[in-house]
Structure 1
Amino acid sequence: MSAPGSATPADAARRGPNGAVLILVATAVGGGAGYLLQIVTGAALGTAAYAPFSVFWSALYLLVSALSGVQQEVARATHPDPVTVETSTRAPVVRNFALAASAIAAALVAATAWLWVGAVFPDAGWALVPQLVIGLAAYVIVAATAGVLYGLSLWTSVAALTIVDGLLRFAIVGGLLLVTDDTTLLAWGVAAPFVLTPLILWPFVRRGVVGRFGIDVGPTALSWNVLRTVVASAATGVMVSGLPLVIQATGDTVSANAFGSLTYAITLTRAPIVIVVLALQSYLVIVFRSHADAVLGWVLRMVVLVVVAAGVLGLLAWWLGPWALSVVFGRSDVLAGGTIGLLVATAGLVGALCVTGSATLSRSRHTAFAAGWIVAALAMVATLLLPLGLHERTLLALTVGPVAGLVVHVIALLRRRPITS
């Protein structure tokens, strides 16, 4: 127990800066740096050369999105008072799990590369595999560390993790763009911050973490829960970061300019909504866990907020989007305003799915959480396979997928019988 008059980390956090505000500010800075980097890269490379860079980015962040399930489950399981849980479920479980998961993730990607490298990276091939392997292995450590920080409500440290990662990537890739357009070198710049960020920040956050927490499950349960959240997060990645990759894999061959224009627009126009809500997922899990008796009310308010915001931004994108893309690319025929507006509006559905997913996970309904995202991803991919034009099938898929997932999550949240699996 804490000494009389002392504060637990959670108590201190509650008296400190507001978590949501700090995370949103960090997302604005770190995520904004990534957003600006996409603009700069697209302008520097042009639509045709941007296409292979966007596919590497998409492949890496598809896998990163999958392994963000590590962060979500560690955040849910972490509690600030280590004496309330068994000694066997203290920090070494998280540390050992993170190291093992990092090694397994790297080995799986490296061992299976021969199956997919030709289709995913048709030009650079194996030259992009080391960046993928090293970046992914390092991200697992980042995700486990971030999960503990979320569980302890150490919002300043969480914010620092996001900001340092984003600014490092902008500085490294931006610097490389000044001297090269080689996708292989640029890919190293994308992956490097996952390695550097924890090395830079650990000396500063260590004191608030070591010996300050326990987790509410043992190693076997932690692994099983993480597996289900990783499966769900992989489906999330398919729908968000991996979207350019999935569109390329499911459709007929189109020109590099057409594909590059669409993926560039998807990346830029949907980011203000999707990145913000994705960044808040672990925070929302903690909020919903703390308001277990009023979860449905919280979910409804947040879903309405996200959908309304997406609608307003969609109207603005319809109006200003063609002009903005014409400024970047120097021509007026990049994408129609209606297409851009609908890309933004459908992002609100993904944001709503993030909210319902966090609520489902906060109730330890891991199976329902995973099922919602899996159904959404499968519905999206199936729709992308329809014999429609590139823009039509993409917009339809971005609507059908998240709606299907929302149905699954809402049914799970409305069920009254406690579910602990």
Structure 2
Amino acid sequence: MSTSSGSEPDAGAATAASSAGGGLGAITIATVVSGGIGYVILALVPRVIAEPAALLQFTTFWSVLYLLVASLSGLQQEVARATRAGGGEGTGALPRLTLSLAAATTALVAITSPIWTPLVAPRQPVAVAAALIVALVGYLGIASLSGVFYGLRLWKAVATTTIIDAVLRLIAVGLALATSAGPAGVAWAVAAPFPVALAITWLLFRGRVQGRYTLDVSTRELVANTAKTLGGTVALGVLTSGLPFLLDLAPTTQPESVVAALIAVVNLTRAPLVIPFLALQGWLMVLFRDRPGDRTRLLWTMLGGLALLSLVLAGAAYLVEPAILGALWNNKYVVDGPTGAAIVLTASLTAAMCISGPAAIAAKRHGHYLAGWVTAAAASVVLLFLPLPLVERALVAMAVGPLLGVSIHAWSLRRPSTSLLD
């Protein structure tokens, strides 16, 4: 990795940038396919599931699952940062760490299932909890393997994994909904693609990674860095996939139909901005890692482009979103134009954190990465309990928390690497 600190990247950085640029095409295609499939699922489910109570059960399971998936994505980020091409000495630490996280996750889900299963599937709690465990263990395998793919710049492998998982999920969920499978059946349809995609990807690409990579940190450093990164991605999960779950838990006097409408619109409206940047976490981390001299400039350039994009999308949401959602969901789950535009703008702040976070990790500011996400999540959760109407309270929470988080990440790049936080 280049250590140049000048304004012009050296030859190694230029080569890395070229490789990352080539990878962006493959990952962008995979992200469009995967994000589009997720978007189709989130758009069609409210149309198929007519009852607000049943819709809340589905959105709550989806939210809990992807809250935990986002939380565990820190493993992928740290593995991507630490992986280099090499002879593979000492890489046994990675499978041991992955298996340890799988065991801890299984225990956590099993212990907490009496708390959340009544919200998702009160009649089939064991089946739904088992589905969640299978999904998360499968995802941990994907995160570990994909982290190695990212670190070695095996962009085709990354893209293939993403597409396989998404396509399998679309098929499974479509069949579950078409056959009225019930909450447990839908939960398994959402969960099963994770381990299946892992198995297929391993069979396709194991020859590209077995004995061909090394880690740039000791086992102790890998565990410590992963712990900090996981702490940050837990908070990331709260602000992204976990938000609908929190909205469902937040106190309100509004009827169930209003809460279901807000959650459905938040899910669908935030997705075009947040999901792509979540999917690009590994790619962004590698890009920032390999461009140390350009890191700050790249960050602000990306944030500026995101700001312009969000203004365009907010304008579109203001003008046409109520009509589109009304037609899509038979006027059952709709918000007005200003609310739709505001949701888009708050989503752009969360997306900004998905850019600033990888920059902080690439600079080995793991403590600042953690502090930014934890501060953002804590502020958002607290603000969800303000004595305001539900919609206004949600918008304040979705805006203030991420703004604080981006500020901490950006500030960290101006701090020396010897900071106590890191």
TM normalised by structure 2 equals 0.92
1:60 matched to which residue of 2?
65
Matched, 1:136 2:136: yes
Residues of 2 paired with 1:152 and 1:69: CA distance?
Answer: 18
Contact 2:264 2:333 in 1 (8 A): no
1:214 match: secondary structure: strand
1:20, distance to aligned residue in structure 2 (A): 1.2
1:255, distance to aligned residue in structure 2 (A): 2.2
1:39-58 paired onto structure 2 within 5 Å: 39-46=43-50, 48=52, 49-58=54-63
Once the two structures are superposed, what CA deviation does each residue of 1:208-257 show, in whole Å capped at 9, x if it has no partner? 11111100112222111111111110101101100011112222253221
1:89-128 paired onto structure 2 within 5 Å: 90=91, 92-118=92-118, 124-128=124-128
Matched, 1:273 2:273: yes
Structure 1 unaligned spans of 5+ = 1-9
Q: Structure 1 181/396 Cα, relative in aligned 2: closer, same or farther at 3 Å? A: farther
Residues of 2 paired with 1:390 and 1:116: CA distance?
Answer: 22
1:126, distance to aligned residue in structure 2 (A): 3.9
Contact 1:349 1:403 in 2 (8 A): yes
Q: Tell me whether 404-413 or 64-73 shows the greater mean CA deviation.
A: 404-413
Give the AA of the match of 1:26.
A
Note the aligned Cα RMSD (angstroms). Answer: 2.1
1:359 matched to which residue of 2?
359
Number of aligned positions between the proteins: 407
Residues of 2 paired with 1:135 and 1:396: CA distance?
Answer: 32
1:6-405 paired onto structure 2 within 5 Å: 18-46=22-50, 48=52, 49-82=54-87, 87-88=89-90, 90=91, 92-118=92-118, 124-180=124-180, 182-331=182-331, 334-405=334-405
Residues of 1 paired with 2:360 and 2:218: CA distance?
Answer: 21
Give the AA of the match of 1:113.
S
Residues of 2 paired with 1:148 and 1:251: CA distance?
Answer: 43
Residues of 2 paired with 1:16 and 1:388: CA distance?
Answer: 45
1:82 match: secondary structure: coil
- After TM superposition, the runs of 4+ consecutive aligned structure 1 residues lying more than 4 A away are 10-17, 119-124, 417-420
Residues of 1 paired with 2:353 and 2:207: CA distance?
Answer: 36
Residues of 2 paired with 1:179 and 1:196: CA distance?
Answer: 21
2:407 matched to which residue of 1?
407
Q: Structure 1 122/249 Cα, relative in aligned 2: closer, same or farther at 3 Å? A: farther
Q: Tell me whether 221-230 or 140-149 shows the greater mean CA deviation.
A: 221-230
Contact 1:58 1:243 in 2 (8 A): yes
**Identity percentage of aligned residues:** 36
Contact 2:17 2:287 in 1 (8 A): no
Q: Structure 1 234/188 Cα, relative in aligned 2: closer, same or farther at 3 Å? A: same
2:11 matched to which residue of 1?
none
TM normalised by structure 1 equals 0.92
1:46, distance to aligned residue in structure 2 (A): 2.6
1:385 match: secondary structure: coil
Contact 1:131 1:188 in 2 (8 A): yes
1:112, distance to aligned residue in structure 2 (A): 2.9
Give the AA of the match of 1:385.
F
